[in-house]
Structure 1
Amino acid sequence: MVSIENEGRLASTRGRETALACVRAGIDAARPDRVVAESVRLDEGRLRVGEAAYDLSDVDRIVVVGGGKAADGVATALENVLGDRIDAGAVVAPDPSEGDRIERLRGDHPVPSRAGVDGTDRIRELVTRADERTLVLTTITGGGSALLPAPVEGISLSDLQSTTDALLDAGAEIGDLNAVRKHLSTLKGGGLAELAAPACVVSLVFSDVVGNDLSVIASGPTAPDESTYADALDVLERYGVDPPAAVRERLEAGAAGDRPETPGPDDPVFDRVRNHVLADGFTAIDAAREVADGRGYDTCILSSSVRGEGREAALTHVAVAEEVGATGNPVEAPAVVLSGGEVTATVRGDGVGGPNADFALAAAIELPTGTTLACVDTDGRDGSSDYAGALVDADTVDDVGTARRALASSDAFGYLGGREAVISTGPTGTNVNDLRVLVVE
């Protein structure tokens, strides 16, 4: 079970206690050990994933590969389920443990590193050996884009790093960011499926993407890609990013038709590929709703797809809290309103902030009395901070001018930390996007 390290100080009211209980339940519901145990099993010579079944009588070898923030936990869970049926494997994760059958390799997030490149090289080595009697189990989880870099020929690691940094600082949404990265990598945009063909590829996916677009989660290593080089160039233009010369030259050459596009929906490399989404943002929201129901609150799921600037989306949640108190819509108080998705934060200064911190602080300035709001990233790290998010109420902000200046300089955690409003969990081992819990007493 996830631990909220500073829960004793945070849980000072009934609303705060409820919000934290909902957060804890939401993150726990998306942990790989729990999800895989519920979804994957061996049954009389078949591998069952949800309702699907794969006959292992035609399989000589099972190889496990993948990457992301939840990849280490998924690998451990698969070792528990499959045991010595696993012949080889390697996954790249930010905090790898020791595995019995699957190598655990270190990478970095959100900016790719040399360690990630080395780990990805090992994965490429394993999948290129696969043949038609190999089952390649891939663990595709949030964070995989940065943790599995594999730059194409002519693109250096520093090119990838600077391009990623610039897009993140510009507040690029994940789909836009990945449209660029897919055209600079050998694994992304269906590249892993292409390398593994003609093997049977079964992907176990933990989604950190609004709408569960398989081509966006970890930049879609086993999914068809409909984005183009021209799309990638458009992303750079829209966000005002001037990339290294090698990046621009490759994208322009691709847009001119001088380089092949990533494999699309009709490409035969996907004939033996199946993707299964085992957990997503709704997994966390639904578990949080059960906790709120059990505590006697009326509940409402506002949306599992909230996106855009965090400080702007926050005002909509404030408006919902005001409506609950004034009219009893969409639910009667005491109520818990839940949302998920992925908000962004455009960097405007050199403080310590993050999308959920921005969301929480912007809301705290406006929250009505009797309202509590918890905002977290389910991976335990909001933006580039060391915090999962924040817990605020109408009493958090005692100096509106100072709070607004903190928002303006991207220093929301700087303000919230001074008021003991940050939520600290450490790495949670999963990643299914943001979770927000709005409690109206």
Structure 2
Amino acid sequence: MNPQSGSTIRINNPTTAAAPKPQTCRHHLQQIVQAALQRVDPYQAIHTRVTLCGDLLRVNTEDLAIDLDLSHYGRILLLGAGKATAPMARAFEELLGERIDTGLICVKEGHLEALQRTEVIEASHPVPDQRGLDAARRFAQLANIADEKTLIINCLSGGASALLPYPLELQSSGAGVAVSLADKQILTRLLLGCGAPIDEINCVRKHLSAIKGGHFLRLAAPARSLNFILSDVVGDDLSSIASGLTSADPTTFSDAINIIDRYQLRSRTPASILAALELGLAGTLAETPKEGDHCLSYATNILIGTNHHALLAAEQQARQLGYHTRAGSVMITGEARHAARYLATIAREVAASDLFMEKPACLLFGGETVVTLQGNGKGGRNQELALAFLQELSAWGDALNKKVFFLSAATDGNDGPTDAAGAFADAEVLSRAKSDALEIDRYLGDNDSYHFFEKVTGLLMTGPTNTNVGDLQIILIY
């Protein structure tokens, strides 16, 4: 029925559940994150998807099923790189035991497991170091001696790109290329600091590496490889995870040069790197393997855990806690501050009305943002996102901001170069900041989110989780 002319339509204020104490909400956020982490635990992922019956190795995932007769192989190599590699290697040690001839993995400092048959090398992340270089050299050596009777089991996860630097100076290119580790460190810092997304960073890395972008498969052919991958890349693009160590690479030397120019880094990029990329553009250096390259036929890539899997587990846990739950996008990318504004807009609309969903509500998002550095502070993309969300929250007024509880967290437990996994944003954090006269704008301007949240006890501290599937954003609304 149409309203009468001149009448006023009133929408009743939504009847929402009374918000529990802030510490209860924070505990709920931690429970939801923990459920997500358990779903993508790499040790459990291997044990639930890979079995051994006699000589028959069976792999069953949502996407594929493989039966491999191990009696056809005289040697098994267990290799790996990434933050989540150690628990994956432990699972394969328990599964295969003495069948493993050689084991070698490279992990970020502190991401360790007690292994019996596998050597573990700790290296630096996100900026590579000499230890990672030594590990990459040995990876290449093992790949070179592999033959058709060799089975390579690769365990790969986020962080592998930085943990296995193998610059072109170590490759006999015949072109006089000498890209040093120091050169790659300089370029890595430049790319991280300008806000380039991970796929662009990896594009450049692949074209300065002797093993990334599928080059590892060229070295290993004709050895068979099963590559178990925990994805930290938005969209799960195999050519970006671990810089496409075991997959075809759609990018080119031209793309890599264009990325450097796009961020106006040419004047600060080491001359050796520019020279190497120009030689590749001219065809003097070999391009990365493309679809159809023969070396790809020996490899099978298997996704065992993704951001989407983590989000589904988080959704289930939130429902068990009594929340009306909705999983949103797993494609939260771009600048952390822009993402914060987008998420805050959604949260405010849900908090202000029952038109969108019932309360208490839980909204879930995933992805991986970036931060363009403007200051000299300390923090990570999740802490910056939480601080920008808090800034939005501060403008709402008490009637709304007391209804919303936010957490942004890195699933690996290390948000940027910090010991925190992420940070909480809610009215209690805002109140503490006001009491201590902490100016959100100033801390954001200096990219100093870590010290801000440290002062207001708003950091999420998990320690290394030994998994890595990107980031999670969780919003509770009453």
Q: Work out whether residues 98 and 104 of structure 1, in 8 Å CA contact, stay in contact via their aligned partners in 2.
A: no
1:401 CA drift (Å) = 7.5
Residue in structure 2 matching 1:172, options 196, 199, 202: 196
Partner SS state of residue 337, structure 2: helix
Which amino acid letter does the alignment assign opposite residue 129 of structure 2?
S
Deviates more, 1:93-102 or 1:130-139: 93-102
**Separation (CA, whole Å) in 2 of partners of 1:102 and 1:63:** 10
Work out whether residues 372 and 392 of structure 1, in 8 Å CA contact, stay in contact via their aligned partners in 2. Answer: yes
Partner residue in 1 for 2:107: 93
Give the equivalent residue in structure 2 for 1:259. 285
Residue 189 (structure 1) aligned with residue 213 (structure 2) = yes
Deviation, structure 1 residue 329:
5.0
- Cα 1:100–1:306 change in 2 (3 A) is same
1:136 corresponds to which residue?
Answer: 152
| Deviates most, 86-95 or 42-51 | 42-51
Deviations 1:193-240 (A, max 9, x none): 111100111100000000110010010110001110010011111122
- Equivalent position to 1:113, from 107, 124, 129: 129
Aligned match of 1:369:
402
**2:79 counterpart SS class:** strand
Distance between the aligned counterparts of 1:249 and 1:285, measured in 2?
43
User: What SS class does the counterpart of residue 28 from structure 1 fall into?
Assistant: helix
Contact 1:15 1:440 survives alignment (8 Å): no
Please state how far the C-alpha of 1:387 moved relative to its aligned partner: 0.8
Matched position secondary structure for 1:13? helix
Asked if 1 retains the 8 angstrom alpha-carbon contact of 2:351 and 2:404, the reply is no
1:146 aligns with 2:146: no
- Name the CA distance, whole Å, in 2 between partners of 1:150 and 1:202: 22
SS at match of 2:207: helix
Distance (Å, rounded) in 2 between the aligned partners of 1:328 and 1:238: 44
Out of 51-60 and 133-142, give the one that drifted further.
51-60
SS of 1:343's equivalent? coil
Check if 1:69 corresponds to 2:83: yes
Give the count of matched residue pairs. 431
**Matched position secondary structure for 2:333:** strand
Read off the aligned partner of 2:419 and give its amino acid letter.
D
Partner of 2:308: 282
> Which residue of the partner structure matches residue 5 of structure 1?
none
The CA deviation string for residues 59-109 of structure 1, in whole angstroms up to 9 with x for no partner, is 111111120001111111111111112111211012344421211112110
Do the aligned partners of 2:42 and 2:88 also contact (CA within 8 Å) in 1?
yes
Deviations 1:277-300 (A, max 9, x none): 000111221111111010111111
* Corresponding residue of 1:200: 224
The whole-number CA distance in structure 2 between the counterparts of 1:158 and 1:265 is 32
SS in 1 for 2:359: coil
Instruction: Please tell me whether residue 431 in structure 1 is matched to residue 431 in structure 2.
Output: no
Counterpart in 1 of 2:347? 321
Equivalent residue for 1:4? none
In 2, Cα distance between the equivalents of 1:147 and 1:338? 30
Give distance in 1, aligned partners of 2:355 and 2:80.
44
Residue number among 408, 415, 433 corresponding to 2:452 in the alignment: 415
Deviation of the 1:185 alpha carbon: 0.8
Q: Which position in structure 1 is the counterpart of 2:414?
A: 381
- Secondary structure at the counterpart of residue 255 of structure 2: helix
The answer as to whether partners of 1:189 and 1:219 remain within 8 angstroms in 2 is: yes
Counterpart contact for 1:151–1:157, Cα < 8 Å: yes
Q: Secondary structure at the match of 2:97?
A: helix
Q: Residues 233-263 of structure 1, C-alpha deviation per residue, up to 9 Å, x if partnerless?
A: 1111112223100000110111122222111
Q: How does 1:14-33 map to 2 (within 5 A)?
A: 14-33=24-43
SS of match in other structure, 1:226? coil
Alignment gaps of 5+ in structure 1: 1-10
Map Cα deviations across residues 358-394 of structure 1 (whole Å, 9 max, x no partner). 1101111223321101111111111112211001212
* Aligned position for 1:228: 252
One-letter code of the match for 1:202? L
Partner of 2:73: 59
* Secondary structure, aligned partner of 1:137: strand
Bigger CA drift: 136-145 or 366-375? 366-375
Matching residue of 2:381: 355
1:80 is aligned to 2:94 = yes
**Letter paired with 1:226:** P
Specify whether residues 329 and 76 from structure 1 end up closer, same or farther in structure 2 by C-alpha distance, changes over 3 A only: farther
Percent identity of paired positions between Structure 1 and Structure 2: 38
SS where residue 366 of structure 1 aligns? helix
Return the TM-score normalized by structure 2. 0.88
Structure of larger gyration radius: 2
Q: Is the 8 A contact 2:305 2:469 kept in 1?
A: yes
Q: Using the alignment, how far apart are the partners of 1:126 and 1:330 within structure 2? A: 56
Following superposition, the deviation at residue 330 of structure 1 comes to: 4.1
CA contact (8 A) 2:127 2:162 kept: yes
Q: Which runs of 5+ in 2 are unaligned?
A: 1-20, 170-177, 394-400
In 2, Cα distance between the equivalents of 1:98 and 1:22? 28
- 1:245 aligned partner: 271
| One-letter code aligned to 1:86 | I
Q: 2 CA distance for matches of 1:389 and 1:46?
A: 42
The residue number in structure 1 matching 2:10 is none
Secondary structure in structure 2 of the residue aligned to 1:52: strand
Alpha-carbon distance in structure 2 between the residues aligned to 1:437 and 1:334: 13
Is the CA contact 2:403–2:477 (under 8 Å) kept in the aligned structure 1?
A: yes
**Is residue 393 of structure 1 aligned with residue 417 of structure 2?**
no
- 1:303 is aligned to 329
1:405 is matched with 442
SS in 2 for 1:208: coil
Counterpart CA distance in 2 for 1:56 and 1:325 is 57
Going from structure 1 to structure 2, the CA distance change for 1:313 and 1:130 (only over 3 Å counts) comes to same
Listed one character per residue, the Cα deviations across residues 310-364 of structure 1 (whole Å, up to 9, x for unaligned) are 1110111111111212333542211110111001111111111211011101111
